[in-house]
Structure 1
């Protein structure tokens, strides 16, 4: 089955930004774009309203994906676009849609006055349970935001892409996650910046603050381990420049900092089969809420 880039649309500014990002990604990957608009069952007062009111409500909800699809076809003429109007619970439908998608793309509301995301309950539920990668795109995301500055010092879609940033746990490096990030960088003809954060084991914690030599030894160990993990991947993707950074401290903080100069931030989520809760891990949680670039969350074992 030909996979699609699927985007959830509700008519908000953040979901429209997500649809534009998804259209660009579909073009980069030479895939079709599927727009899914989810119509939650109407409240009882509306359901009992006169026929004209119900028909007007239905007209407006069906109009959203149709007009979005028409606009994307005009702005991205090379992308095949389909749209679907579905009634039901948004999180359940989106999780199901993700199964047949190369990527599922959702919008996130920008925090007023703070660069970053505010991920709602639907977005968190989908990220926690989807079986395919999910990309969160902030409101008002522009194509130029993913690119380097032009000679005039202004972000421009005509300039090269900014690097793709990958957050990597070298104790449990997952091939699916690394390959996704390298492939994203290759398709954008940009570099991959791998960011690894580490902390000393608890039994070192006291001595580390006083023993600079011990700190440096641990830092060298982490840097060497990161280089060893990435070695085979450099050979597998020779056209992608890979830079690596191993920092002492909380990984999420370093990734949020790196997001300011990224076209895309890639983080992993360990697959859990429990149907309850929305557990995505502390690193993914921090990045989703504070990254200034789109974030791809890749599920892995």
Structure 2
């Protein structure tokens, strides 16, 4: 029997999965991400954990097709990272270093959002489609673009950085990337909370929202209770995201746009706020683009990482 491993490296934990060559998830587990000392222990810890799993299950190196890795940073086609925001790495040859630690096993690496998109295309909300855009709405806005079944990586590994499309040229506050008016400032969990705080400060409307406890979750919980102020905030969020996705669609022409990340836990109530402005702006050829919620949750990264290997 042949196997592969999927690894999703995050700032707090590393999620790992053992898969069969047919794509069945056999076992998943996590280890702590050791970011101290410029993250020097991260790849050795990953290698040790994989080798331990192989030993415990009597899996030989000859049975392992490879190891796929998702990383929260741009990753080029050679598996090289130039810098990371929260792992402590500067330049890192992830593919080369991890392969050496694993005694020559094949390693494939990609940006975590791109890899998660690949996972959703394979076994999740985009299953059965080859052209998929995934938007991850979490603390920031991540994105992954799958074209003809392959990740759009780009020259510098920054393909699919949807969160940094400029959607407001009048914005004065800076995004975390240092620019202004990025989608991330309006459509992330923190961005939705920011929109809510701005509205509550500007208008004195009756609402069940508590000004001292604003989050994306409280906004959409209030939407479900038909709170008019929360609905207006959700509509503003939806316009920013829907219009941005219409621009993306005219370039990549996806069959389906998958919405994931923590904000997507609001459920189906979320989608109409995005779809309506999308269809108002979308090119006629993109009017039939479908929308779906991500299905794999926190496992999307390990599924996509495994698919990196299985696609080779």
Shared fold by TM > 0.5?
Answer: no
Flag the structure with larger Rg: 1
**Normalising to structure 2: TM-score of the pair?**
0.29
